[in-house]
Structure 1
Amino acid sequence: MYVKKPMEIEKKSMEIIEEIMGDTYFSEEEKLVVKRMIHTTGDFDYRKIAVFQNDFLNTAVKGIKAGGTIFTDTKMVAAGINKTALSKTSCQLKYFIDDKKVVELSKTLGTTRSACSIDIAVSEGIDMFVIGNAPTAIFRLLEVIDEGKVNPKFVVGVPVGFVGAAESKESLRKYAIPSISTVGTKGGSNVAASIINAILYMVVGR
C-alpha cells in the first residue's frame, strides 16, 4: 500500500520537512517558502542557503495582490507556476526567450537571449522579476537598475550553474531591493517557480 492522494502526500512531505528543518532564523512566513523549495527539490540544503533581503516576502505578497506582469527568464519557470492559483490574482506571466526581437538583439550584441529579455521586459514596464536559470539575466537586470531604467518591486534570483550563478546572486544581494536568492551554485527554474507558488498560496490559499 502507498499514499495516493496528492494533498495527503504533500501534507506528509511538509511534516517531514518541518521535522528536519528544526530551529531556523526564518520567520514563519519565510519558512513556508523555504519548505516549498525543499519540497520541490528534495534538497534540505535550501534551509541553509536561502537568503531573504529587504522585506522581500511582504513586498512580493503586496506586489502580487496589486497585480501586474511577472517576468520569468525561461518557459520552465512559467510552466512550474501554479496556473489555478495565479488565475485568482490579477497577475500574468511573461517571458521573451523566443521573442524575435530578443533573438535578433542577442545576435547583434553577442550576449544571451536571457540578458536581452531583461531589456524587452523593462521596455514594457515590467517590474517583478523571477530568474531561475540565467546568471546573465541577473547581471543585466542590475545594469539597467544602475542605469535608472527600472526599480523592481521584487526579484527572485536563483539561477543554477557553475559559470556566473553564484557571482550573480552575490551581486544581487549587494542591492537594496527586495529579493530572495541562494548562496552558491544551487537553484533552478523549479526552485524559482516554487518560491512564487509559495507566495501565491499565501495570497489566494491552497
Structure 2
Amino acid sequence: MTEKLEQVLPENIEKRSFEIISQELGERSFDPLEEPVIKRCIHTSADFDYADTLVFSPGAVRRALEAVRSGALIVTDTNMGKAGVNKKVLASFGGEAVCFMADPDVAKAAKEEGTTRAVASMKKAAALAEETDRPLILAVGNAPTALVEICALLDQGKIDPALVIGVPVGFVNVVAAKEMLLEKDVPSIVARGRKGGSNIAAAICNAILYMARDGVE
C-alpha cells in the first residue's frame, strides 16, 4: 500500500512525529521522566529499538535535571554531538556544551600517552570540572574508549559526573564498554548493544534540556 502524504504545517511536524511515535508504541508505559528521553531518541533515529535498549540508572534523569538547572557543563566526545545540543536552552540555565577532541593539548596528550583523543578528552573534562566546580554531564556517542576511561576515572575517584550518557555506536568494544559503565555507581543512561551515535547522545541531552525548560520535576 502506498503511503499518502499528510498536509502538515512546518511548525507542527515535530508534534505530529511524536503523535505517530506514541501511536506506534501503543499501550506501552514508561517512567514519566524517562519517557521523553526514549521518545526523542526514537524521533531522532526512527528506531523503536530504543524503547527496549535504553537503560536508566535509578534517578538518573532527575539528577540530570538538577545539574542542568545548576548550569551544567556538557562534554561530548564529538563536535557533531556538541552541534546537536540545544545550546540556547542550555545557556538559559548558565550551562555550556564543549568538545575537546580537536584541542591541540588533547592531541598532544594522546600522542604522548599512546592513547586516543577520546581518552585524553575525558581526562581534560575531569580536570576542568574540578577547577570550575560545575555539574558535569558526559555525553559519549562515538568512542567506547571514552567510556572505558570514564570508568577508570570513577574508580580512581577523579570524577563525579551528574550523568554519563553512554551511547557509542559500532562494533569494537562498544558493547563491553557500555556494560562496564552499567556496573558503576554513577547516574547513567546507556543504549545497550551496538546502536547509538552522536545524534542519540545529543537527543538525550535535548530531552533533558526541554524537560528542564518546561518545568518538569
> For this structure pair, what is the TM-score category when the shorter chain's length is used for normalisation?
over 0.9
189-198 or 122-131: bigger deviation = 122-131
Match of 1:205 among 176, 195, 214: 214
- The separation in 2 between residues aligned to 1:68 and 1:14, in whole angstroms, is 27
In the alignment, is the contact (CA less than 8 A) between 1:54 and 1:176 conserved in 2? no
Spell out the pairing of 1:44-193 with structure 2 (5 A cutoff): 44-125=48-129, 127-193=136-202
Deviation by residue 1:72-110 (Cα, 9 ceiling, x = unmatched) = 111011100112322322110111101111101111122
Structure 1 residue runs without a partner (length 5+): none
Match of 2:23 among 19, 25, 34: 19
Once the two structures are aligned, what percentage of the paired residues are identical? 41
- The separation in 2 between residues aligned to 1:33 and 1:6, in whole angstroms, is 23
TM-score (norm 2): 0.90
1:44 deviation in Å?
Answer: 0.7
In the alignment, is the contact (CA less than 8 A) between 1:33 and 1:198 conserved in 2? yes
Name the Cα RMSD after superposition: 1.6
1:44 aligns to what SS in structure 2?
coil
In the alignment, is the contact (CA less than 8 A) between 1:54 and 1:177 conserved in 2? no
State the aligned residue count: 206
Structure 2 residue runs without a partner (length 5+): 131-135
Q: What amino acid does structure 2 have at the position aligned with 1:71? A: V
1:29 aligns to what SS in structure 2?
coil
- The separation in 2 between residues aligned to 1:153 and 1:132, in whole angstroms, is 17
